[in-house]
Structures are given as structure tokens and as C-alpha cells.
Amino acid sequence: MGNRAAGKHPRHLKFRPYVDPISVRPSRPADRGYYYKMFKNSVALIRFTLEDNGFREAIGQNQEWSIMWSVSSMKSEMYQFLTKYQKINHFPRSIEITRKDCLCKNITKMQSLYGYRHFDFVPRTFVLPQEFPLLVEAADNSVNKFWIVKPAASSQGRGIFVTNNIAEIPSNTQLIASQYINDPLLVNGYKFDLRIYLAITSIEPLRLYTYEEGLARFATCKYSAPIMGNKGNRFMHLTNYSVNKHNTNFVSNEDPRADGVGSKWSLTALKKHFESCGINCELLWRRVDEIMIKTVLSIEPLIKSSCDMHVPYKSNCFELLGFDILIDLSLIHICRCRRRG
């Protein structure tokens, strides 16, 4: 906890991570005047981290609070009566980046404005049902092309499937259909993606922080390019933990000192593996940072205008985003470095 130093600096809080088992709730902290409020959720990790750092939960509608945590978007009127020292973990209209169809539309807009080559990190994607005729046309031009289809507003792998048959895709449902990436980088024969965390602490000026650690999440069946016989194998084509934990091949990692084994690695372990393969991690992570920055830039004007309209103070909002990034071989060809000696 920080406090005033010589009366010149504002009060601040320095958080420590919650390291005890998530099944153990911290002891009730002393009342220091810091309160949090959970909005339509009860995420234990957030609750326990706040309580472990001296916060108490606000009880009742009228009790003051410093931090409100929500797992869903907030209505604009919830922002309008915030005091200077209250914070909410969402910016208004952050759904523009967290909902798949909105994200696709915003990236497509940036491609039109600034050129495809500057925003080429998203595969060709159609927003359904509006663009279903365009999807049909694209599929007719390449009958052997596979598409990965995802619900527009879902998570944890729910409703995702791979197909090369347009008749299998509902024509009147809110979905996105993306060209399947056939050549992902593999580790030990398995497909994986990166989960990287980025915090937006200010939208004006735009201020972003990337957490140095993260996750590599692995599929649990060895990868083969999609064909009719394997397109339904979710354990091969999807890397979501929520999907793969149900496979008997899933390997839990229980030892933080051995973070490069099992079906989920730390980013630190993955970087060590990349370096042993001659991949230039500095170039690779520079590209990853570029992807995250450009993605946020695609929705910055929308969020700023909404903040100007509804949020009383620039310091009222922050956002924690998890980026899921799939690395394909074309990027690795750029980032692979030669061994010397």
C-alpha cells in the first residue's frame, strides 16, 4: 500500500499477486477505507486478489467503492456518476474489440483506410449473416478451402467448428467464418497459440502495458492439415484450454519450476524453446506487440468518443485484454535466425 509522501504525491496502491491456493479465501482485511464491488460475477481470483491487498467488498447499493469489476460490458449510464477516485475495469464500447464480429469489422475498416499490408495479421474473414453471399462466392472459387466458424459473441471454444462445406454453416446466425490457417507453427507436432495480456490504463493519451509473462496453450492431438476425415477433431484444431482439458491426452502442469511440459506452458518456457530452434524472439515479439497495438488503434476513436460522452474523468476506466495469437510459418520464416559456429 502506498500513501502520501510529504503531502506532495497522491495516494496509490501497489498490488501483490495472490499466491495462495484459489480454494482458500484470504482473511478479512482491516478496514482501510478501500472497497470493491463485483458486478454480475463472482470471479474468485479477482475477489481474493483484492481482499489480499486490503480491500473489502462493498455491501449494499449505497456503500462507496473504489473498484468495480465486471465480466460483461456496462451500460453507459453506469459511468456517468463516477467520482474521480472510482475505477471500472471496462471502457465504454470495449465490446468493439472483445466481440469477434465487431473486431473483424474494425480491422477491415483499418485495412481500407491504411492498406491491407499494414493490417495483414487477420485471415480473410466474413461476418455472418450479412456477408454470407460473399462467403459462398469465396467458397465456390476454392472448393478445397477450409473455414473455421465461430459464434460472434461466445468464448472458451463453444460452438466452433471447421468445415469446407458451406451447407454446414447456418446462413441466419451471428457468426464469423475465417479462412483456416493450414500452416501453423508446431511444437513437438502440436498446434498451439499464445495468450498474452495487455492492459489499457488510459485512452487519452493512449497508454498500453504488456504483461511479460503469459501462456502457450496446446492442442492435445498431433496436427494434420484439415481433411474430411479430421475436420471434426476439436482436440487437433482448437487450442482452447476449455476444450482440450476434456481430452484424455491432456497433461496438467502442476510444477511451476517445470513450465515447459504438459498442455500449457509459460511464455518464458516457449521463448527458450524458440531460441533453441534458432527463432529470433526479439523480432517475433516485436511483431506480436505491433499486432496488439494496431488492434487497439482500430477501436481507439470509438472508445474515446464514448468516454468523452459518458465518462466524467479520464482515470475512471481501465481494461485488461487477453490476446490469442496463432503463429504461422510465414512469420517464422521472417523471424528465424542463422546459427553461428
Residue 93 neighbours by CB under 8 Å, 6+ apart = 299, 302, 303, 306
pLDDT at 294 (0 to 100): 96
pLDDT at 333 (0 to 100): 53
pLDDT at 156 (0 to 100): 87
Closest CA to 39 of 62, 68, 60, 59: 68
Quickly count: other Cβ atoms within 10 Å of residue 88's Cβ.
21
pLDDT at 340 (0 to 100): 33
Report the distance separating Cα 203 and Cα 306, nearest Å: 11
pLDDT at 117 (0 to 100): 93
| Each residue's pLDDT tens digit, 93-138 | 999 999 999 999 999 999 999 999 999 999 999 999 999 999 999 9
pLDDT at 258 (0 to 100): 86
Q: How far apart are the first and last CA of the chain?
A: 51
Report the distance separating Cα 284 and Cα 332, nearest Å: 8
- Counting as low any pLDDT under 70, the low residues of the chain are 1-11, 332-341
Count of all residues that appear for the chain in the document: 341
